[in-house]
Amino acid sequence: MNAPLVELRDISIAFGGIKAVDHVTVDLRPGEVVGLLGHNGAGKSTLIKCLSGAYQADAGQILIDGDLVEIRNPRDARAFNIETIYQTLALADNLDAASNLFLGRELVTPMGFVDDAKMEAETRKIMARLNPNFRKFKDPVKALSGGQRQSVAIARAVYFNARILIMDEPTAALGPQETNMVAELIQELKAQGLGIFLIEHDIHNVMKLCDRASVMKNGQLVGTVNVADVTDEDILGMIILGKMPDRAR
């Protein structure tokens, strides 16, 4: 397989003496989706926030393309082409797709004015690649469906050259059709060589979307399995019992 895009090695972080993440190691390769699973409080979101720059680990190393790096804040993460799509999506409801895509990074004319026409043209270009059925370029994003809003958030990450994408339950609260649309987007991103960490509660989505699954319990890594080698019952057992399935040992 390809060398890892990113490695989180022996990561630990504690809050008030409680170890939220305790010596956890996971990695991610180009064109791969790795699911991060576990009960609420298992430590998966805390672990991934060390990669996104929201937290700094107390111990451990982060490697990008095999090089040791330091990620102190979200700006550092972006400099390493790491983008995060949180469940809330962080979209401005009253603005259209293009304004959201370039929010805080607006394109300007030589005179220094916001270049709305160019931003819309660029948004149409990236959407044609990711979601050709997207048509609501002039509507505020509050008028869009859940799947269309996800498209805007994903397009924003991809436009700014994300190579490592963190997605926090991207299909939560979506219907079957919208879930399928997001699944198609993820497959397209994989084909383009992005690596995706997928924080997920739905084991069916993990079985459908992920190449590997890393399960955490009480801040520790239960283990990482190839999804093709296990059943959903195996993964459920890892989450509940905190043990690797016999077939994966």
* Domain spans in the chain, listed from the N-terminal domain onward: 10-22+29-93+161-248
0.85 exceeded by pTM: yes
Q: How confident is the model at residue 180 (pLDDT cuts 50, 70, 90)?
A: confident
Rounded-to-integer distance, Cα 214 and Cα 42, Å: 12
1 pLDDT exceeds 60? Answer: no
Phi first, then psi, for residue 111 (nearest 5°) are -85, -5
Rounded-to-integer distance, Cα 214 and Cα 221, Å: 7
Note the pLDDT tens digit of each residue in 107-160: 999 999 999 999 999 999 998 888 888 889 999 999 998 888 888 988 888 888
Residue pair 221/244 in contact (Cβ under 8 Å)? The answer is: no
Q: Which amino acid is at 180?
A: N
Class of domain 10-22+29-93+161-248: alpha beta
Query: What percentage of the chain carries pLDDT values higher than 70?
Result: 97
**According to DSSP H, which parts of the chain are helical?**
44-52, 74-79, 97-101, 116-130, 146-159, 176-191, 203-209, 232-241
